[in-house]
Amino acid sequence: MKAYKTIDDESDVRLFRPELNMKRLKNSMDRLAMPGTDFVPEELIRCIGELVRVDQDWIPSGEGYSLYLRPTVIATHPYLGVSPPDDLLLYVITSPVGPYYASGFDPVRLTADTPYVRAWPGGSGNSKVGGNYAPTMKPGRDAAAKGYSQILWVFGEKEEVTEVGAMNVFFLLENTKNGRRELVTPPLDRGDILPGVTRQSILELCREWGEFDVVERWITMPEIRDAAEEGRLVEAFGAGTAAIVTPISGIQYRGSDIEIPATGDLTKRLFSDLMGIQYGRVEGPEDGALGYERLSRGLSARRGWSDKAIHAKRQICILRSTLRGKSGALFVVLGLSKNGHPNDHFTDANISKSNA
């Protein structure tokens, strides 16, 4: 997730939907049989909020600029072995970042022609774990060597689309049965799709508009190819925290490129509206479906998906490192005991420099 300074008031610093990040962190820890999944999300949000408040000068100003936040949990038990961990270290890596699109809203070209599979039913594709990303490095490098930006991951004999690179994927097309336009993204029920925060935000925002059908269903490469050939494929885009949305202009499939109009009006609108909400330029839906944590005014000034005030149930201990990497990244280490609650004190900490 990211911390943003609003456009009109740089002292107003916000997090976008942090409670969803906490939910995904819990689920990912549970998938790896890590203890401590009963931690109180509000406490960690409050802890991260304190970090951001103290170091808010590290948040770049201007739309497109933010402080990237990466909560991380690793096992620290003092032995080697294949077994659930007894001890954990929870820490947060932060780094200032600029606009994802340095020069314009550039669409990407993808390839679905790869022998590799990113995730599968019963695996860990719906969890935020390193094992989902390391195996994609070689396929990604191979795709780049062929002139494609990323891989469009497919699965099974039907060649069902799952994700694009490390992002969720959306297709806007005309339905052959009713002639209506529908926004399609793969569902989460099989367990091989990451439940992205931006993905959920797009679904809820588009359903709020009510201008076209919003459908979570499996879509196959043959269906995408046919829709493009028949002129029914309106646009396509990836969605994730880093870029918000990324327009797709082409997909290599079985040796040929499927051309897709880019950048589409919906992609542009979603990019503008979501960024506007994140930076305080526009308000979210009236029902509070899209919201943020306002840090500079106190965490009790919460609005968005939940109007509940945040009250920490116990004191959280924060150790702030004075080490900074070449990129100016800041590091915070949070003590986490077996039962998922922060430790009362720190006896020692070894924090290394990094360009994360």
Edge-to-edge, what's the strand order for the sheet holding 2-5? Answer: 302-303, 292-294, 13-16, 2-5, 66-75, 88-97, 330-336, 318-320
49, pLDDT greater than 70: yes
Split at pLDDT 50, 70, 90, the class of 79 is confident
Segment of 265-274, 296-305, 315-324 carrying the highest mean pLDDT: 265-274
- 128 and 194 Cβ atoms separated by less than 8 Å: yes
| Contact criterion met (CB below 8 Å) for 260 and 236 | yes
Residues in contact with 145: Cβ distance below 8 Å, sequence separation at least 6, in sequence order: none
Report CA dihedral (304, 305, 311, 316) to the nearest 10 degrees.
-100
pLDDT of residue 77: 87
Residue 356 confidence (pLDDT) above 50: no
Residue 2 has pLDDT above 80, yes or no: yes
Q: Which has more confidence, 144 or 308? A: 144
pLDDT at residue number 285 = 62
Average pLDDT over residues 3-15: 91
**Is 224 in a helix, a strand, or coil?**
helix
The model's pLDDT over 12-25, given as tens digits with 9 standing for 90+, comes to 999 999 999 999 99
Q: Flag the least confident range among 4-8, 108-112, 187-191.
A: 4-8
pLDDT of residue 349: 31
Cβ atoms of 55 and 94 closer than 8 Å = yes
Split at pLDDT 50, 70, 90, the class of 55 is: confident
Q: Which residue has the higher pLDDT, 338 or 171?
A: 171
Alpha-carbon radius of gyration of the chain: 21
Question: What is the predicted pLDDT for the residue at 56?
Answer: 84
pLDDT of residue 328: 34
Q: In terms of pLDDT, which residue wins out, 122 or 352?
A: 122
Would you call 260 exposed, middle or buried from its count of C-beta atoms within 10 A (0-12, 13-18, 19+)? Answer: buried
Give me the torsion for CA of 114, 118, 121, 123, rounded to 10°. 140
Strand, coil or helix: 244: strand
pTM: 0.82
Residues 248-260 have a mean pLDDT of 98
| Residue 61 in tokens | 């100003």
Higher pLDDT, 276 or 342: 276
Main-chain dihedrals φ then ψ at residue 118, nearest 5 degrees: -75, -45
Burial 311-326, CB ≥16 within 10 A → b, else e: eeeeebebbeeeeeee
- Which of 105-109, 206-210, 223-227, 307-311 has the least mean pLDDT? 307-311
Cα torsion angle, 170, 18, 52, 353, sign: negative
10 Å CB burial of residue 128 (0-12, 13-18, 19+) is buried
Contact 85, 34 (CB under 8 A): yes
pLDDT at 129: 95
Find all residues with CB under 8 Å of 106, minimum gap 6, and list them: 247
Mean pLDDT across 163-176: 96
Mean pLDDT of the chain, nearest integer: 82
Give the least confident one: 38-52, 114-128, 296-310: 296-310
Q: For tokens 């080697």, what's the residue?
A: 80
Strand, helix or coil for residue 189: coil
Is the Cβ–Cβ distance between 169 and 152 less than 8 Å? yes
Are 16 and 1 in contact, with CB atoms under 8 Å apart?
Answer: yes
Q: Comparing 22-36, 159-173, 247-261, 295-309, which segment has the lowest mean pLDDT?
A: 295-309
Kindly report, residue by residue over 285-310, the tens digit of the pLDDT: 654 444 555 654 433 233 332 222 22
pLDDT reported for residue 293: 58
Tally the C-alpha atoms within 13 A of residue 84's C-alpha that lie toward its C-beta.
Answer: 9
